[in-house]
Structure 1
Amino acid sequence: MSVRKLDWSPLDRSSDPVRNADPDRIQSSQKRYEFIADTIDDAVAKLEKVVTSGSDGLVGKYVEGLKDDAKSIKESLEKAGVRYRDVASEIKKYEPDLDHALKETAAARTDAEEAKGDQTKAKGMPDAKKDDDGEISADEKAKGDAKDKATKGADDKMAAAKKRLDDAVNALDVAGKRFGDAVNCKKYDDGLTDSTKDKIDAVLAKIGEIFGWIGLVLGVLAILIPGVNLLVFAGIAAGVVSLVASSVLYAHGKGSILDVVMGAVGLGLAGLGGIASLVTKSISNTAKITTLGKWGFRPIAGGGKNIEMVPLGPGGRALGGGPGRIPNFSRPFGPGNNFFNPNNAAGNWRNLSEWFNNPASDWLLKKGGFPTPDKGFWGSFGTQFKDVGKFWGNLGKNPITFGKDFGSTIAGIQGARDLANIVNAAGLGNINKLWYVWGGVNGAFGLGAMIYTGGRNMQWIPDVNLPDNAAT
């Protein structure tokens, strides 16, 4: 028998009261559970032979260890076998109750259809009519009584059909409760029931997967849209969530130790990167101030006695090159004036904010000897996106420059290149080569972390755990 598709409106029901009851599937499930129980019993019997066998059957140093493992597995299987056997047995007890409920509800539906037909017939029977004197004759009274009797009989039959249905459904509910109580997970201590911890772990695993994908997408965007600090910090936030999830899972004997290590190293590098960023800003700020403090005069080419003020580099050499104009000292800090805005990397450097630029963070930066941002969050955000536009604009204008910049971004050394340009423009020499090493390490780890995250989420990379923390 399959799931019934019948009209239950005669009983004022919109659907089958024994919903989705398929005896064939239930019987198949019973056989499957019974087969599993038999298989477990067979495995337990074989393990019992290993546990109880003497030295004649097994020889070697491995014997005792093998016996211990076999005993542990046997005990676990015995516990699991009890539950499977109970489920198979209770399904067998439940099947007659289900079959009875299906038959009774079907019979109740048939009764209801008949009762509905009787009600229609009764409704069509003639009513008692009065004669001209307003009296009801015996014949007319008999007609009225017959209609009332037929109506009452049909109504009683309908009520009986509904009661038959309710009784069948209630009896099946009782059988279902008995079934559920008999195999309630609280009765068993066999490791097959998901505990609260297991459910939490399942949620954490899903959260870790989701934020792993988020971090992966943000990492790719940080490469394609370099210099936008909002993406970097969003990636760090996603990394924090993933690390918490993977740490709890590992503490519960699940997940992978590599997830924890990769997450911790990634956040550690991000923290060191934040410190390095502040140091870089200080170096860049020093270079800017140094550049603005070095000025000299030189003749304007073809300008006779006219002179211009220009920033000076190493050895007093003028930076920027080419003829200029006499600075307007009436507006010494005006827009575009060479006196304030020299056309080199150091003079044009701007200290942009990441997430800070408020009285509290500015006070801390000053206390630490670091420069405060020139622009706030949204101003910095806009400037960063303009720089991204220039970055991608070189793809068509100057592919070689674009390729170098893009390669440097992927390799993680673009920041060191920018710092080197600023320091050189200020005439302060060269930066320490460790800045390039630092950037390369970050770039390599970032690419490796993205590959690892993608592999984990696609389940290409399996769990890696220490022996004493392997999931059981």
Structure 2
Amino acid sequence: MAIRNLDWSSLDLDSDPVHADPDVVTAAQKRYSHIATTIDDATAKLGQIVDTDSDSLAGQYVEGLKSEAGTLKDSLTKAAVRYHDVANEIGKYEPDLDQGLSETAGALQDADEAQGAQTKAKGLPDPKKSPDGTTTPEEQQKGTDKDKANSEADSKMAAAKTRLNNALGALNVAGKRFGDAVSARRYSDGLTDSYKDKLDAVMAKISQIFAIIGMILGVLAILIPGVNVIVIAGVVAGAVTLIANIVLYVDGKGSVMDVVLGAVGLGLAGLGAIVAVVGKGISSIAKTAALANRPGGAGGIQLVPLRPPAGSIPNFSRPFGPANPRPGGAVPNYSRPFGPNNRPGNVPGRPAPGPQPTGAPPPNVAADWQNTSEWFNNPATNWLLGKFGATTPEIGFWASNWAGLQGAGKMWATLLSDPAKFGKDFASILGGIKGPLDLSAITKAAGLGGISSLWFVWGGVNGAFGIGAGFIYTGGRLVGWIPAVNPPGQAAS
């Protein structure tokens, strides 16, 4: 019997109230019974191994085999109980289902007949009055017959609906009995998912989702370097993944390598923030030294001495007076034309121009360096950094993001125009040494020499970890190429 495809409108229903196929239920009962029998056979064979005299077996594996066989036998025995119970309870439910299907079908037939009777009753003639306004007994009988037919038809429809409701009620009682009989709450065999099991399933999904997000953000951080929003989002994704992996590991369902590599990754991010603060301090010192070495000192301003040295051009910016005698003791005569005999020192002429303002200082990566915000210099943490004496960046968080986007755009613009330069810049980003290279350029431009080679070692370690753990390991775990590394006693996830 397939699912019934009938018109239930006479019972004011849009579809079959019993959506069940007895053939499918019967097949399920047979399948569960077969599984239970198979488990019984397996436990019987395992029992033979457990109970076998060790003299019939040889080798050091015997005790271990018997122990493992005993554990597996106990688990299968518990599982067999459930499969037997389900098969038995389905067998009890099948007659109730058949009865429910039969009764609902009968109720539908009754309703169809009642609906036909209602239609017929409504079609009966109504009594008519005579021309003088009276109703003859014959006409009165017509009205009585019509009312009776309508009443009987309505009663049949009500009875059909009552029959339907009673059938559905009985079927619901049978279904509840079946559900209670095979409910996991009845069993304490350790085979039912507990709250912890459900939490672990959620954590496993969270770990998978945020690991994928972290990989995507890692790729974006390489392709678009210097954008702090991407970096901070990657750190948050790494933290969420680590928390989920720790929960799974504690519950015996996680890989120890997932926890270790996640913790190392966050640790490197935190240590990287400290290293970046140190680098900013070095750059600030280099900037001060570079500004001091520029022509004219701080700001490039050249100072003109108040009293000129002997033999130089006089300074006429000061008013003449007793303490400031006129040059040469005489008033310069500017009305006479210049000539061979009319020069300063003979007859004073027009003074030569004084020192002219200098142009803009030449570019210098140290003097022009500006303290931009990093991912850890965001509005939520700057107040905390200030308490530890960290310098507030000159360029705010969002402006630094825009600067990073512009820098990435300039780098990618050289892909076709200057492939060699692009390759060098991109390789420095992949290798994690772009920061040390920039810091070295700043200190050299300030005349402070190079930086320690440990900066490049630090950058290389970060780059190698990002490629190895961030992409190869994480990607391999997600697709199942790299198995979980579990402590003894844990099953691989």
- Structure 2 length-normalised TM: 0.84
Alignment of 1:275-286 (within 5 A): 275-286=274-285
Are 2:263 and 1:243 equivalent residues in the alignment? no
Are the equivalent residues in 1 in contact too, given 2:256–2:487 (CA < 8 A)?
Answer: yes
Task: Tell which structure's C-alpha radius of gyration is larger.
Answer: 2
* Corresponding residue of 1:13: 13
Matched letter for residue 223 of structure 1: I
Are the equivalent residues in 1 in contact too, given 2:255–2:492 (CA < 8 A)?
Answer: no
* Corresponding residue of 1:452: 473
Separation in structure 2 between the aligned mates of residue 345 and residue 362 of structure 1, nearest angstrom: 29
Are 2:360 and 1:337 equivalent residues in the alignment? yes
Report the 3-state secondary structure (helix = DSSP H, G, I; strand = E; otherwise coil) of the residue aligned with 2:125: coil
> How far 1:56 sits from its partner (Å)?
3.3
* Corresponding residue of 2:393: 373
Separation in structure 1 between the aligned mates of residue 165 and residue 243 of structure 2, nearest angstrom: 52
Separation in structure 2 between the aligned mates of residue 252 and residue 146 of structure 1, nearest angstrom: 78
> How far 1:362 sits from its partner (Å)?
5.7
Query: Cα distance 1:273–1:128, how it changes in 2: closer, same or farther (>3 A)?
Result: same
* Corresponding residue of 2:336: none
Separation in structure 1 between the aligned mates of residue 295 and residue 138 of structure 2, nearest angstrom: 134
Matched letter for residue 452 of structure 1: Y
Separation in structure 2 between the aligned mates of residue 367 and residue 267 of structure 1, nearest angstrom: 21
Are the equivalent residues in 2 in contact too, given 1:212–1:239 (CA < 8 A)?
Answer: yes
Are the equivalent residues in 1 in contact too, given 2:483–2:492 (CA < 8 A)?
Answer: no
- Percentage of identical aligned residues: 58
Are 2:123 and 1:98 equivalent residues in the alignment? no
Alignment of 1:34-53 (within 5 A): 34-53=33-52
Query: Cα distance 1:443–1:105, how it changes in 2: closer, same or farther (>3 A)?
Result: same
1:348-371 CA distance string (max 9 Å, x none)? 211111353669836744744x43
Alignment of 1:67-466 (within 5 A): 67-296=66-295, 328=357, 337-338=360-361, 342-354=362-374, 355-356=376-377, 361=382, 364-365=385-386, 367-368=388-389, 370-448=390-468, 449-466=470-487
Separation in structure 1 between the aligned mates of residue 77 and residue 485 of structure 2, nearest angstrom: 29
Larger mean Cα displacement after TM superposition, 82-91 or 387-396: 387-396
* Corresponding residue of 1:332: none
Separation in structure 1 between the aligned mates of residue 191 and residue 388 of structure 2, nearest angstrom: 58
Separation in structure 2 between the aligned mates of residue 56 and residue 433 of structure 1, nearest angstrom: 68
Report the 3-state secondary structure (helix = DSSP H, G, I; strand = E; otherwise coil) of the residue aligned with 1:102: helix
Separation in structure 1 between the aligned mates of residue 251 and residue 12 of structure 2, nearest angstrom: 52
- The unaligned stretches of length 5 or more in structure 2 are 303-354
Separation in structure 1 between the aligned mates of residue 287 and residue 363 of structure 2, nearest angstrom: 12
Separation in structure 1 between the aligned mates of residue 379 and residue 128 of structure 2, nearest angstrom: 96
Matched letter for residue 451 of structure 1: I
**How many residue pairs were aligned?**
437
Separation in structure 2 between the aligned mates of residue 308 and residue 358 of structure 1, nearest angstrom: 36
* Corresponding residue of 1:54: 53
- Structure 1 length-normalised TM: 0.88
> How far 1:115 sits from its partner (Å)?
0.9
What's the RMSD between the two structures over aligned residues? 2.3
> How far 1:396 sits from its partner (Å)?
2.8
Are 2:4 and 1:4 equivalent residues in the alignment? yes
* Corresponding residue of 2:329: none
Query: Cα distance 1:266–1:158, how it changes in 2: closer, same or farther (>3 A)?
Result: same
Separation in structure 1 between the aligned mates of residue 379 and residue 178 of structure 2, nearest angstrom: 65
Report the 3-state secondary structure (helix = DSSP H, G, I; strand = E; otherwise coil) of the residue aligned with 2:367: helix
Separation in structure 2 between the aligned mates of residue 366 and residue 198 of structure 1, nearest angstrom: 44
Are the equivalent residues in 2 in contact too, given 1:357–1:373 (CA < 8 A)?
Answer: no
Larger mean Cα displacement after TM superposition, 348-357 or 228-237: 348-357
Separation in structure 1 between the aligned mates of residue 22 and residue 380 of structure 2, nearest angstrom: 72
- The unaligned stretches of length 5 or more in structure 1 are 298-306, 310-325, 330-335
